[in-house]
Structure 1
Amino acid sequence: MLNETIVEHDLYLFHQGNLRYSYQLLGAHPHEENGEEGYRFAVWAPNAEQVSVVGDFNNWDGTSHRLKKLNENGIWYGFIPEITEGTVYKYEILTPHGHLRLKADPYGFSSELRPNTASVTYPLNQYSWNDEQWMDRRKNINIYESPISIYELHLGSWKNIETEVYYNYREYADMVIPYVKELGYSHIELLPITEHPFDRSWGYQTTGYFAATSRYGTPDDFRYFVDQCHQNGIGVILDWVPAHFCKDEHGLRRFDGEALYEYQDPIKAEKPQWGTLTFDFGRNEVQSFLISNAIYWLKEFHLDGLRVDAVASMLYLDFGKEDGQWELNEYGGRENLEAVAFIKKLNEAIFEEVPNILMMAEESTSWPQVSSPTYLGGLGFNYKWNMGWMNDMLKYIEMDPIHRKHYHHLITFSFFYAFSENFILPISHDEVVHGKKSLLNKMPGDYWQKFANLRAFLAYMYAHPGKKLLMMGTEFGQFDEWKDLEDLDWELLDYEAHASALDYVKQLHQLYNDMPALWELDHDEQGFFWIDPNNYEQSIVSFARNSRNDGDQLIIVCNFTPEVYHGYKVGVPKEGHYKEIFNSDATHFGGSGQTNGLALETVNEPWQGQDQHVAMTIPPLAVSFLKRTCSPKEENE
C-alpha cells in the first residue's frame, strides 16, 4: 500500500515521463507522520538491492534508516522523524553487484559547500516574495516587441573576497543590481548556479540539478537575489545544462550501480570532448527529471528564462566525436531522434506551465526552426543565439581596417537570415576566455583605435536586428580576457578611457531603450531595410530600422575604417531635417569629435535607392544614428 504522501497517479506520470513537478514527489521534504515531525525521503533507484538514508544523524550507518521499495519501477520511500532543516545526508545504495555507493540526492534542494558533497535538507516554501508587480507585468508583456539587453554574469568572478572565497547571494544583490540597473540592461543571465564540484567548470558540469550552489549561500539567499532584481526592474535568466553531466562519484553516474540517468550504450553516453555523460533522453523518468528541473527553477525561483546550453550536442550523435565514437540513428542519419523529441516535449511543457518566459537555445548549427513552435515543426524555443553573426563579426572586427574591404560580406551576410529565427546577438564568456582575448583586446590598432573599434562594434550590434547579450567586463573595456578565478579589473575605471567606455555603454543602452525602431520589429522584415550594403571600398554600410510608428524610423551609418569623410551622401526615404541623435565618435565617449551637430537637410535628389539624400560627416571607426525631426512644411508651421 502506498504512503498517503505518495500519490499513485504521480508515480504513473513519473514513469511515463509526464510528471512535470517530480521534485514535489522525490527528494527530501518536511513531513509529519503519526504526530511526529521530520522529513520524508523518496528516490528513484530501480536497480538497487537496498537504499538507506545516512548522515551525521545516524553516524552514516546504513542499517539505521532503510527505505522501502514502493513499486517495481524502483521508487524507494521512508520517513525519518528526527531529521530537521539543515541535516546533511546521502543515499547509501547497495548495487546489484554487491557494492555500496554513497550518492547525493538527485532531487536535493541544497548541498554542502565543496569539497564536501552531501545533500542538505531544505524546505521549498519558506521564502516570502515581494515581486508581485514584476510577475504581474511579465504575464502581459510582449517579449518579442520589447527591448532585451542581457548582462552575462559569473558571480564568483564579477567580484570576490579572495580566490575561491565569495560573497553571499544577498551581498551580490546589493552590489550587482544597482550597477546593472544604472547601465540600463533589461536582464541578467547567470552562468550555471546549479551545484557543481569544480569551480573551473563554471557550473557547466553539474551534480546537483535542484540545488543553488552553496558557494554563495542558501537557496533562499538566491531567491532574495532574484526578488531584488525583479523589484528593480531586472529579469533573471539561468544558464541551464540538460545536455550532459559530470562523472563525479557522488553524482548521477551509474546512480544505482547501473546506467540510469545516462544512456546504457557507452557510445551514446560518452561525451569525450568534455569527459562527461549524456542524459538518456529517451528514458521516461529522465524526461520527468529534466522537465521538472526546468520548471523548478522557473516556478520556485521566479526566473524569467533559461538559456539552454549546448543544444547542438544534444541534437547530433556525432557532436564532438571522431569516427568510431558514434553510430547512425535508425534512419541512417546523425540526428539524436530521442533528444529532438525531448526538446520539443520540454518546450511544450515549459510554455504551458510558465507562459511568457524566455527559452533561449545556444545552438551553433543551421538546424531549422529552432525558435519556431512545435506545432509548426520547430523545436519550440522562442529564441536562438545567433552564433553565425557572432563568428562573422568577430572575424571581421579583429582585422586591420585596411583588409576589411576584402571581407565586406561578413558584416552584411547576417541580414540574409536575420528574420529566419528569433535571434539573440551574443558576445558571451566563451568568446573572451581560453586565449581568445577580451573584446577590447581583439580590436586592431593603437590604444585609441581599440576603443573606437569597440564603440563601433557595439553600436553596430545594437543597431542590428535581434536582442543583445554582453559578457561582464565588456562594458568598461576589460583588457585581459575573462579570468574565472579572479574578479573583474575594476581598477581600470580609474582611467579615463575605461570610464568613458562604461559611460558609452550606459548611453548606448539609453538610446536602445528609448528607440522602438531598435527592437519593436526585431523579428519582422518590415523592421529593416538596406540603404547601401555595397560600399566595400570604404567599408561603410547604411541601413534603416523601423518600428510600428513611422515617425520612429532611424538611419544608421557605420564606418569600419579610420578615415573621415565630409559631405558623404546617404540616401534617406523622406524629405526633411535629420538630426544625429547618437555618434560613437563623440568626444565625451573618447572619440575624435567628428559629429554632425547641425540638423542635416535633405536634398531632393534620389540616392542609393531613396528619394532623398543628406550630406553628412562620416566619423572614423564609428556609427552614426540619424532621426528625421521634421519636414520644411512642418518647420514653417
Structure 2
Amino acid sequence: MRMKMRNTILVLIALVVVLVLSSCSKSVEKARPAPSWVKDAAIYEVNIRQYTPEGTFNAFSEHLPRLQEMGVKILWIMPIQPIGDTNRKGSLGSYYSIKDYYAINSEFGTFDDFRSLVNEAHKLGMYVIIDWVANHSAFDCSLAKEHPEWYKHAPDGSFISPYDWTDVIAFDYSNPQLRKYMTEAMKWWLKETSIDGFRCDVAGLIPVDFWENTRKALDSIKPVFMLAEADTSALMFNAFNAGYNWRLLDKMVQLRQGKINAYQLLSFIEDYPNDYPQGSFKMNFTSNHDINSWTGTEQELFGDAALTMAVITATVPGMPLIYSGQEEPAAKRLKFFDKDTIHFAQYSNHDFYRSLFELKKRNSALWHGEDHDRIIPVLSSDSTHAMVFLRQHKNNKVLIVLNLSDRPLTLSIPDKKAEGKYNEIFLNVMVNISPSEPLELEPWGFRVFEKL
C-alpha cells in the first residue's frame, strides 16, 4: 500500500513538473516584426510647409545630406495630400484635413517632385514614411458626396466632426467598402512612390482589425514600418511596430516642474517596456508638431534641461524622434494653419544629435524592439537628483549618468556592474568608473559612456 501510494505521489509530481515546464516553454506573445533597418534608427518629423521659405519637396531635399550626416535614418513626412477648403482653418488649413487621398498638395510640388525626394533619401541610406489620416476627411472630400454612408452621422443626418476639429468629418469603419478603399489607397502610395511605411494619425480611434488586415496587405508588397499615434498595446501585436511614448514626455515635464524626482522617473522607465508585446517599442520625444504648436517649444517645457531630456529619449528603450528645427534648436511655436518658416542658421544642436544617433547605431545595447530593450538601474550616491542606468547586450555596454536637478552634483557610483573603462562620447575621453572616482556634473548635466 505504501509502495502504491509512493508511486502515485511520484506520478503526480512528474505530472506537475511536466505542466510547469510546458507552461514555461510557451513563447511570449510577440509583435509582428519590423523591417531589419528599423532597430537602430532615429526618426525625424518633416514639416514641409514650414521647413523652407519655398515650402516645397525640392527645397527640403537640399537638406537631406545634412540630416543623413546628423544620423537621421527615417524621415516621417507630415500629410502631403491636398487640404480641404470648406471650414478651412487659417489661410492654408490643417495638413490633417484631407481632400483627396490619391493626390499631392500642389503647394508642396508634384508627384515627380515627391518621388525624387524619396529616391534621394534612399540613395543616402534613409527611409521615408508618410502621415496617413484614416479617421476623417475634409468636408469637401469627394467621398462625402459619392459615399456619404462611409461617414458617421448625427441623429439629424449631419456629418460628425470629432472633438473640436470643425474642419473635418469622421469616417464610419463599420462600412466594409470604406475599409477596402482606405487599404487600397495606402497600397497605391506604397507601390507608386516607393515609400517605406506610414505614421497613422489618431490610430486608436479606428478598429484594430482594420489596421491588422491593412498591415498584412502592405507587407505583401514589401515590409513596412508602421507608427501609430497611439499608446495602446492592442495595436502593437499585428498592426504597428511602434507607438507614442506620451507618458515619458509627461514624466519628464513633471520632473522639470519638481513634481517627481529622478528615482521616480527611473522607476517609470524601468517599467514601461512591459506595456507592449516583445518586438514592438515606443517612440520617445521632447517635441513634435502637436507639442510645438499647441503646448510649447522644448525651451518652454524644459528650459536649460532640454538637451538632458533629449539624452533620455535617445538612450532609454524606444526610438528617438526629433521634430523639424530641433537641431537649431526650435525657438518658436510654429503656426499650424498658416505659413511660418523655420529659421535655420547655426544648427547648434547638430553635433549633439549626431553623437547620440551614431552611438545608437554602434551599440546593440541601445537597439529597440529587441528582447534586451530595457534599462539596468545603477546604484549611485544620490538617487533623488541623479539618474544612472546601463544599457547592455551581451558584452556591449552603455552607461548613462544624468543630473536631474538645478544644482551641481558630485556623484559616486559604488555599483560593481558599472565599473570599468569607458569612452565619454561628448568629450571623446577615456574615463574609469569606480567607487573611488566620483563624477562631477553641472546642473542638468549629462555624461554618456561607451564601454571600451
Residue 185 of structure 1 deviates from its aligned partner by 0.4
- Does residue 1:546 correspond to 2:392, yes or no? yes
Distance 1:599 1:534 in 2: 18
Distance 1:140 1:523 in 2: 11
Distance 2:241 2:403 in 1: 33
Pair 513,210 (structure 1): closer, same or farther in 2 beyond 3 Å: same
Pair 394,534 (structure 1): closer, same or farther in 2 beyond 3 Å: farther
Residue 264 of structure 1 deviates from its aligned partner by 5.2
Distance 2:150 2:235 in 1: 25
Paired position in structure 2 for 1:99:
none
Question: What does 1:30-49 align with in structure 2 at a 5 Å threshold?
Answer: none
Paired position in structure 2 for 1:254:
145
Paired position in structure 1 for 2:271:
416
Residue type matched to 2:451 in 1? Answer: R
1:432 corresponds to which of 292, 303, 310: 292
Distance 2:122 2:233 in 1: 34
Paired position in structure 1 for 2:254:
395
Question: What does 1:100-115 align with in structure 2 at a 5 Å threshold?
Answer: none
Question: What does 1:561-580 align with in structure 2 at a 5 Å threshold?
Answer: 561-566=405-410, 568-573=412-417, 577-580=420-423
1:516 corresponds to which of 353, 364, 372: 364
Q: Which has the higher helix share?
A: 2
Pair 553,289 (structure 1): closer, same or farther in 2 beyond 3 Å: same
Paired position in structure 1 for 2:69:
182
- Does residue 1:303 correspond to 2:195, yes or no? yes
**Corresponding residue SS for 1:621:** coil
Question: What does 1:215-254 align with in structure 2 at a 5 Å threshold?
Answer: 215-248=107-140, 251-254=142-145
Cα deviation code 1:456-483 (max 9, x no counterpart): 1111111111011111111122221123
Residue 287 of structure 1 deviates from its aligned partner by 1.3
Q: Determine if contact 2:380/2:412 at 8 Å carries over to the other structure.
A: no
Distance 1:616 1:501 in 2: 24
2:432 corresponds to which of 584, 596, 600: 600
Residue type matched to 2:233 in 1? Answer: P
List alignment gaps of at least 5 residues for structure 2.
1-32
Pair 269,281 (structure 1): closer, same or farther in 2 beyond 3 Å: farther
- Does residue 1:627 correspond to 2:450, yes or no? yes
2:233 corresponds to which of 368, 392, 395: 368
Residue type matched to 2:150 in 1? Answer: Y
Residue type matched to 1:359 in 2? Answer: M
Paired position in structure 1 for 2:43:
150
Paired position in structure 1 for 2:5:
none
- Please, what is the CA RMSD of the aligned residues? 2.8
Distance 1:570 1:459 in 2: 23
Paired position in structure 2 for 1:71:
none
Residue type matched to 1:558 in 2? Answer: L
List alignment gaps of at least 5 residues for structure 1.
1-138, 315-338, 374-379, 445-449, 494-498, 587-595, 604-612, 630-637
Cα deviation code 1:90-117 (max 9, x no counterpart): xxxxxxxxxxxxxxxxxxxxxxxxxxxx
Distance 2:273 2:228 in 1: 16
Residue 290 of structure 1 deviates from its aligned partner by 0.2
RCO higher in structure (CA 8 A, sep ≥6): 2
TM-score, reference length from structure 1: 0.59
1:480 corresponds to which of 327, 332, 338: 332
Residue type matched to 1:178 in 2? Answer: P
Task: Work out which of the two has the higher radius of gyration on C-alpha atoms and give 1 or 2.
Answer: 1
1:196 corresponds to which of 53, 69, 83: 83
Q: Which has the higher strand share?
A: 1
Cα deviation code 1:272-327 (max 9, x no counterpart): 4212222221222211110011111212111111001012333xxxxxxxxxxxxx
Residue 172 of structure 1 deviates from its aligned partner by 2.6
Cα deviation code 1:438-467 (max 9, x no counterpart): 1123224xxxxx2xx122111111111101
TM-score, reference length from structure 2: 0.81
Paired position in structure 2 for 1:348:
216
Q: Determine if contact 1:560/1:620 at 8 Å carries over to the other structure.
A: yes
